[in-house]
Amino acid sequence: MSTLEIKDLHVTVETEQGTKEILRGVTLTIESGQTHAIMGPNGSGKSTLAYSIAGHPKYTVTSGSITLDGEDVLAMSVDERARAGLFLAMQYPVEVPGVTVSNFLRTAKTAVTGEAPKLRTWVKDVKGAMENLRMDPVFAERNVNEGFSGGEKKRHEILQMELLEPKMAILDETDSGLDVDALRVVSEGVNRAKEKTGAGVLLITHYTRILRYIEPDFVHVFVDGRIAEQGGPELADRLESEGYDRFLAPSPTV
Ligand code: ADP
Ligand code: MG
Ligand code: MG
């Protein structure tokens, strides 16, 4: 059992207009096996939360804490976070010239576990995971993210999740740019990886449609850098019919 605990997290970024506070007190606890959906309007700080957990250097934590099983995540380097079992799906969004998907995955697995996986079982594992995600075997020999379509990028992310077997996976907008078939395949991949590893999942999304395939245990509505409301799956249904207006409307004057 693992617990990712975020307490009263405040995060700023440097912009041309100066320092801007984006996260304004986020508190959230995720246990192994749980799926938490973070939903919210564009610009509410959802990706900032993901980047802050992953340790992106652009985001400065000014107060609050993040711990994984009591260990101070904020004191860890990005690599240490990955070794501790944190996985961020958009961790490697850049093209990596000259590095094939196959080599990249093996290097990542070695970095996370501390030893190179046995080649024979590894090749089999990669092949199996790719079949599950309906990926052409040729994909393994392509360079990472070079000319990947949106759908290929997302499949590659979930392929990483399946193979790296993290304790906690943070999936940011995994549904964006996917058609319904791809969405189903990618969602099945997440569910399979979850089932296999018992990972906790933080699923960040703007739309409710992915939640038809990956059922959340908890839904958090994210507005203006903090959680405005939390509930169960029924909250997602409400958001689908009502949108975010209710949360964005100015408070009535008394
Ligand atoms: P979401 O993922 O919910 O759409 P983001 O976390 O991407 O929201 O962004 C939240 C706010 O912070 C936005 O106003 C965005 O412009 C701003 N922001 C995020 N990252 C940066 C950055 N690196 N530099 C400047 N502003 C940023
Ligand atoms: Mg956005
Ligand atoms: Mg975002």
Best CA proximity match to 224, nearest among 36, 51, 22: 22
Query: What pLDDT does 163 receive?
Result: 94
Q: Is the beta carbon of 74 within 6 A of some atom in ligand 1?
A: no
Calpha distance 109→129 (Å, rounded): 14
- Protein residue with its CA nearest to atom 15 in ligand 1: 43
Distances (CA, A) of 138 to 1, 142, 144, 203: 37, 7, 12, 29
Contact in structure between 79 and 54 (CB atoms under 8 Å): no
Calpha distance 91→78 (Å, rounded): 10
Give me the tens of pLDDT residue by residue for the chain, a chain 254 residues long. 999 999 999 999 999 999 999 999 999 999 999 999 999 999 999 999 999 999 999 999 999 999 999 999 999 998 899 999 999 876 445 566 788 999 989 998 998 999 999 999 999 999 999 999 999 999 999 998 888 888 888 899 999 999 999 999 999 988 877 888 889 988 999 999 999 999 999 999 988 889 999 999 999 999 999 999 999 999 999 998 988 888 886 666 65
Q: Is the beta carbon of 40 within 6 A of some atom in ligand 1?
A: yes
Q: How many residues does the chain have?
A: 254
Question: Could you tell me the two tokens for 40?
Answer: 């919210």
The number of the ligand 1 atom at minimal distance from the alpha carbon of 204 is 2
Residue 61 CA from chain centroid, whole number: 19
Calpha distance 209→57 (Å, rounded): 32
Supply the ipTM of this predicted assembly: 0.94
Q: Which CATH class is domain 3-248?
A: alpha beta
For a ligand 1 pocket test, name from 10, 14, 16, 22 the mutation site with the most ligand atoms within 8 angstroms of its C-beta: 22
Query: What pLDDT does 179 receive?
Result: 86
> In the chain, what are the domain boundaries?
3-248
| DSSP label of 138 | G
Query: What pLDDT does 253 receive?
Result: 64
Query: What pLDDT does 92 receive?
Result: 46
Calpha distance 182→226 (Å, rounded): 31
Strands annotated E in the chain: 3-15, 18-31, 35-39, 60-68, 71-72, 86-88, 96-100, 143-144, 168-172, 200-205, 218-223, 226-231
CA–centroid distance, 43 to ligand 1, in Å, is 6
- Tell me the backbone φ, ψ of residue 109, rounded to 5 degrees: -65, -40
Beta bridge partner(s), residue 72: 67
Calpha distance 18→203 (Å, rounded): 30
Torsion, Cα of 195, 175, 99, 86 (10° steps): -50
The structure's pTM equals 0.92
